[in-house]
Structure 1
């Protein structure tokens, strides 16, 4: 135990020295009103830019679910007088790449390009058109709707999709977090061009834009880039405030399915991205089910009893309470035993908390792996966009390791007891031997 503590403190010292050397984040607001977060990095001739909007799936309604996702997808499929082929060719000609990220809260589009003048200029010109002047051509919309609908129909035959879809409905009820991000067959079928265009004008507004920039440019160049990418966005109004998430009534649904295994998922409203319990819950979840073969769930369910090949737990923090979820697969005939044991392991952990040994090992694993999460510009800009969108401290990356290290056994136990009710979980079993 003394050796473990020494190694942990040595690792912490190394990580803390590294953290102090991280590049500073600069923050300002453009004249047109967009928020900008910037890290200057001269190591590589690369520029990464992302622009995020409060336009995730939670901004949909039940009858228009899938609208937010389709709007984001169609941004680059024809914009500013360029066809989708011209957008793709223009970026390929200078070796630039577009990306996108989408969840319940955020819709974001990103660009990676060389930082040299010609390549950067052409890539940013196209990127600016995509963000500020999407065309939502009717023929493209119909084609993409057909693609999405085909994917939904196929996904709805799979036990994992069935379980996740029902779980979110049970967990969130009428809250928009319970809407499927890709939409439903009926809602997507009914979407028209005006639905996307109106959504874009209301959500992709300059005051709703968060620009993250990292790479081989100066502060002055970054300021000019941010302004050029956002000054022609719609003005619009401030984004609506999401309603608070309330715990659901505990419930278990069992669905028959021809799959050879049962898919078991349990969930409870977890935590907000800015929650003060974030780091104690992060460390505790690593011990419970997020740490792979070292976790309690894996040890009890797979290692000791062979009831599942894999079992995991995780928090998905959002603007409001994102899900805390446990998931596993097991043979149908042992699904009841696996579910009962999963619930027992969770209840025991919430009641008793972790041991000191588990805590030290979890901290060591989290701190040791953290540098791998920020070992490239692409990964760092993901954090930069998140910091901007959720208004996290500019010192977030430097503070991460320190916050993990400060977590104590009592803090982890207290956080789980206040935030997770093992008896209040909603549960779905797809591939059960019989229905409920």
Structure 2
């Protein structure tokens, strides 16, 4: 493992922050598409696998199955039990991680060139031949249930769950991907095998690799690694119809500080006005201490330690989301200030100085994301999921700089919808009552 740490540290030093990334588009003999960035200065490669669908593929009554299944992939495979698998990964100085999101599951791997074949073979067994031993299922299930029970006492998680249920209803987005205590307790080994076949299939696979590997080596590795996965998985979920009527829903919870989640309709990543909206959000609530919401809610009035907003582009819904926490006796004022700023930016727009500052920050920060093989692989696979071209990295800052003041202010009038701004407040807020059924 020491060799891996040294190699990874050296890699970061060898790859200065940059946005000059040459991507090769490949197709393996077995028909797997992949993006490759070759970087041979350090004998190390990062591999990122993403399968579209994720926890949204959970079958009715089986909420949490995909999440539990992914958590079990590192708990033994092939001839190795959970401890044997962990020792094998460590012995190869490799690193594997398996994660579940609402719209996809991801597998991230890092391996040294000298051990690449063995590491890839081990990774393959975890994807294709997971053991799902009952003792491991019970142990990991208990861990998941413990997390669920902890979340049920956390006002931020309570607020997020109540918000999702209100906005998305019966759509999979409307409930937590970890499931409930009841749904996770009832999951069987057969449910996990079904979730595995539904989620890990080649028809929803996206791949990127960055590091010390050639195109020929990568295509051979991918066919060996992924060729035995099912060709097709479960049908992908349909689009959601977000319920954002405007108003307030209060979730009673005994805490001295209310937690607020709020949103209005968002914008698709493919929309021609996306970059104008992205800059607008940075000015409104995405720019940290320089944003309008932080200035008005925190700096001028001291109503919170932090408030922020962001554009959420999910596979089946788009929202403009924000969050704030404030004392119970001041949260009503915080909400009114947020509403006022939402309206003011729609009616008055932004200034030339705000636009210039936002562009300077966004274009200057962008190259800093490319600080190693792993981050680059993650960005590249995300680009594929978003349908972006391989030259997006080189052109992205030009697209930001091309946005004019007229563009931003036109989009502010078009998109900002304070009448649809919907708040879910968890706590004991004073002066607030539920206005949404």
Do the structures match in fold with TM over 0.5?
Answer: yes
What's the counterpart of residue 75 of structure 2? Answer: 77
C-alpha distance in structure 2 between counterparts of 1:270 and 1:229, whole Å: 38
Residues 337-381 of structure 1 deviation map (CA, whole Å, 9 limit, x = unaligned): 111111111121123221111000001011111111112111111
| Contact 1:70–1:196, Cα closer than 8 Å, also in 2 | yes
C-alpha distance in structure 2 between counterparts of 1:275 and 1:115, whole Å: 41
Structure 1 residues 173 and 241, CA, compared in 2 at 3 Å: closer, same or farther? closer
What's the counterpart of residue 361 of structure 1? Answer: 357
C-alpha distance in structure 2 between counterparts of 1:403 and 1:147, whole Å: 45
| Contact 2:200–2:233, Cα closer than 8 Å, also in 1 | no
C-alpha distance in structure 2 between counterparts of 1:35 and 1:187, whole Å: 36
Structure 1 residues 413 and 373, CA, compared in 2 at 3 Å: closer, same or farther? same
Matching of residue 32 in structure 1 with residue 30 in structure 2: yes
Q: Give the one of 397, 401, 410 matched to 2:397.
A: 401
Residues 273-311 of structure 1 deviation map (CA, whole Å, 9 limit, x = unaligned): 433332212111110011111100011111111111111
Structure 1 residues 277 and 238, CA, compared in 2 at 3 Å: closer, same or farther? farther
- Tell me which moved more, 267-276 or 69-78: 267-276
C-alpha distance in structure 1 between counterparts of 2:356 and 2:365, whole Å: 14
C-alpha distance in structure 1 between counterparts of 2:404 and 2:60, whole Å: 42
The DSSP-based 3-state class of the residue aligned with 2:329 is: helix
Q: Give the one of 368, 373, 397 matched to 2:369.
A: 373
C-alpha distance in structure 2 between counterparts of 1:261 and 1:370, whole Å: 35
Structure 1 residues 399 and 247, CA, compared in 2 at 3 Å: closer, same or farther? farther
Structure 1 residues 127 and 275, CA, compared in 2 at 3 Å: closer, same or farther? farther
What's the counterpart of residue 103 of structure 2? Answer: 105
The DSSP-based 3-state class of the residue aligned with 1:65 is: coil
| Contact 2:265–2:420, Cα closer than 8 Å, also in 1 | no
C-alpha distance in structure 1 between counterparts of 2:424 and 2:60, whole Å: 22
What's the counterpart of residue 303 of structure 2? Answer: 307
- 1:246, CA displacement in angstroms? 4.1
Residues 17-63 of structure 1 deviation map (CA, whole Å, 9 limit, x = unaligned): 964xx232112333333221111111221111121112312222452
What's the counterpart of residue 9 of structure 1? Answer: none
C-alpha distance in structure 2 between counterparts of 1:295 and 1:416, whole Å: 15
C-alpha distance in structure 2 between counterparts of 1:86 and 1:411, whole Å: 58
| Contact 1:55–1:204, Cα closer than 8 Å, also in 2 | no
What's the counterpart of residue 142 of structure 2? Answer: 146
What's the counterpart of residue 321 of structure 2? Answer: 325
Matching of residue 250 in structure 1 with residue 258 in structure 2: no
Residues 70-96 of structure 1 deviation map (CA, whole Å, 9 limit, x = unaligned): 121111212122212122111111211
C-alpha distance in structure 2 between counterparts of 1:64 and 1:206, whole Å: 23
What is the aligned residue count? Answer: 416
Structure 1 residues 259 and 62, CA, compared in 2 at 3 Å: closer, same or farther? farther
What's the counterpart of residue 131 of structure 1? Answer: 127
- 1:167, CA displacement in angstroms? 0.9
What's the counterpart of residue 384 of structure 2? Answer: 388
What's the counterpart of residue 214 of structure 1? Answer: 210
TM-score using structure 2 length: 0.90
Alignment of 1:156-305 (within 5 A): 156-237=152-233, 239-240=235-236, 242-305=238-301
- 1:334, CA displacement in angstroms? 1.0
- Tell me which moved more, 411-420 or 370-379: 411-420
**Cα RMSD after superposing both structures:** 1.9
Please, which runs of 5 or more residues in structure 1 have no aligned partner?
1-16
TM-score using structure 1 length: 0.90
C-alpha distance in structure 1 between counterparts of 2:429 and 2:232, whole Å: 52
C-alpha distance in structure 1 between counterparts of 2:249 and 2:128, whole Å: 45
C-alpha distance in structure 2 between counterparts of 1:95 and 1:333, whole Å: 53
What's the counterpart of residue 348 of structure 1? Answer: 344
